Amino acid sequence: MVTDVPSRPGKIVAVHLNYASRAAQRGRTPSQPSYFLKPASSLGVTGGTVERPLGTELLAFEGEVALVIGTAARWVSPQDGWSHVAAVTAANDFGLYDLRTADKGSNLRSKGGDGFTPLGPELVPAADVDPAGLRVRTWVNGDLVQEDTTDTLLFDLGRLVADLSQHLTLEPGDVILTGTPAGSSVVEPGDVVEVEVDAPGAPGAPSSGRLVTTVTQGTTPFGDFGARPSVDEAQRAEAYGTPVPAATPSFELTDAHRARFAEVAVATLSVALRRRGYHDVLVEGVHGNQPGARFVGTARTLRLVPHRPDLFARRGGGFNAQKRVFDTVRPGEVIVIDARGERGTGTVGDVLALRAKVRGAAAIVTDGGVRDADAVAEVGIPVYSQGPHPSVLGRRHVPWETDVTIACGGAVVEPGDVIVGDGDGVIVVPPALVEEVLAEAERIEAEDAWVAQQVAGGASVDGLFPMDARWRERYERQADGR
């Protein structure tokens, strides 16, 4: 009989993807569970440490429900699978994204490091709980960053036991890590990660207690043999829990596009779009913090929802959606924030504005307020907002999600939309319309410049603005060089 947290299980089997929230975050939902093995030497204990190796940056936590097998299971049914579980406890499935590509899916180096699988501190007997009534929560430095329940699993706990038993014998003391919910992210040396598994609906609300792990900095470099740590933007985004959306396959905002947009006004673009039936593409009510500034870029979106204490406790702390979008924005992108038009608090301040500038962002657009307005202006990145407000984000908002379709100032913005701003405001150009809208805007600008030239020469605007047939014939004759 298993009565203590295993110190040397024969097998540690981990599920790749099992919570609906994590599947939504990853953008894929498996039809069947898939697994990988972790070595017994990766076990850690509560109050212990996990080392981020020297020369790496992307050590990520994953709070999980761990199953401890009580009786051998081979070829059991999904209905019988849970009966082979002796207990559950908390686990943290640490992974090092810097080495994720090293083993082509086996996860040996990225997930198998010493201390990468802390368990405990207490066992919760399986007989005392409903397998669909377990809750897993994770805190980083005291902030709640993960919370989910096993009734949202893609593959229930008994089914996991049964599925694995088709391929190998599960033996007493073996451990199954059942997947992590959304909210997994990167931790730094000095951070303290806590995981707890409990059953709030069961008598006495049994709990594993807090599994506490402190991140430390390694001092031994990798040798000049074997796979080396390697990081790209895709790995960095997945590690932080915010995959960078792929660019629209049929459209790329080129340097040539940017140069052409720099020569046409937002007012002119609005005319070209209105002629195509696009009447609500202006971001209403926002003003730039730098007179004369112009920008163009593709949208990177952030959605804020109204403040609610429990939701802010769950999603507002740690490396939340607001911080993630500013930390992963790519050169030439525009961060667009859906603040529901709520100007009674700041949605960006000087530190995040500086981060966006360092990352190469083209601009920041929010239909909310700006905190540290003078300091933000000094950063030098164009910021369009409803104006300054000294309060912090949490007064009115919860940072909820990124890279989704949002509404900003009454305009729908999708990730990858082209966002253009000048002294008149900000406009959204759907990628599929860029070429034809640019061509028409350039034609309108040329006509307006010619009309202005005629007015400057003493011509009356009557019949000239807009041009009647007589003036248009004259314009076209001159344009053709006749």
Question: Helices in 16-75 by DSSP H: which ranges?
Answer: 20-26
Question: Helices in 102-176 by DSSP H: which ranges?
Answer: 108-111, 157-165
Q: Cα 307 to the chain's mean position, in Å?
A: 19
Contact 346, 367 (CB under 8 A): no
Q: How large is the angle between the packed helices 233-240 and 321-328, nearest 10 degrees?
A: 170
Among 304, 14, 315, residue whose Cα is nearest residue 140: 315
**What region, left, alpha or beta, does residue 421 occupy, with left being phi > 0 and alpha being psi -120 to 50 degrees?**
beta
pTM of the model: 0.57
From the first residue on, what is the mean pLDDT of each consecutive set of 10 residues in the chain (482 residues)?
81 95 84 94 93 93 97 96 97 95 85 96 96 96 93 95 97 97 93 96 95 95 86 81 55 93 95 93 95 94 94 84 91 97 95 95 97 94 96 94 94 96 96 93 90 90 84 80 60
Q: Cα 342 to the chain's mean position, in Å?
A: 22
Residue 36 φ/ψ, nearest 5 degrees: -145, 160
Q: Is the torsion defined by CA of 336, 341, 346, 350 positive or negative?
A: positive
How far, in Å, CA of 56 to CA of 393, rounded? 32
Q: What is the 3-state secondary structure (H, E, C) of 219-288?
A: CCCCCCCCCCCCCCHHHHHHHHCCCCCCCCCCCCCCHHHHHHHCCCCHHHHHHHHHCCCCCCCEECCCEE
Extract the tokens encoding 194. 């806590």
In the prediction, which pLDDT does 120 show? 93
Q: In which residue are the tokens 């730039």 written?
A: 288
Contact 418, 431 (CB under 8 A): yes
Query: Is the omega angle on the peptide bond into residue 121 within 30 degrees of 0, that is, cis?
Result: yes
Among 238, 225, 227, residue whose Cα is nearest residue 102: 227
In the prediction, which pLDDT does 329 show? 92
How far, in Å, CA of 250 to CA of 106, rounded? 34
Extract the tokens encoding 167. 């391929």
How far, in Å, CA of 134 to CA of 65, rounded? 8
Considering just the CA atoms, what is the radius of gyration of the chain in Å?
28
Question: Out of 3.90.850.10, 3.90.1170.50, 3.20.80.10, 2.60.120.200, which CATH number does the structure's domain 12-232 have?
Answer: 3.90.850.10
Residues 6+ apart with CB under 8 A from 176: 12, 13, 14, 15, 66, 67, 69, 160, 161, 164, 170
Q: Tell me which architecture the domain covering 255-435 has in CATH.
A: 3-Layer(bba) Sandwich (3.50)
Among 14, 347, 318, residue whose Cα is nearest residue 147: 318
Q: In which residue are the tokens 């009565």 written?
A: 3
364 DSSP β-pair partners: 335, 383
Domain ranges of the chain: 12-232, 255-435
Q: pLDDT of 299-314, one tens digit each?
A: 999 999 999 998 888 7
B/e letters for 96-126, b = 16+ CB within 10 Å, e = fewer, are bbbbbbbeeeebbbbbbbebbbbbbbbbbeb
Residue 401 φ/ψ, nearest 5 degrees: -155, 160
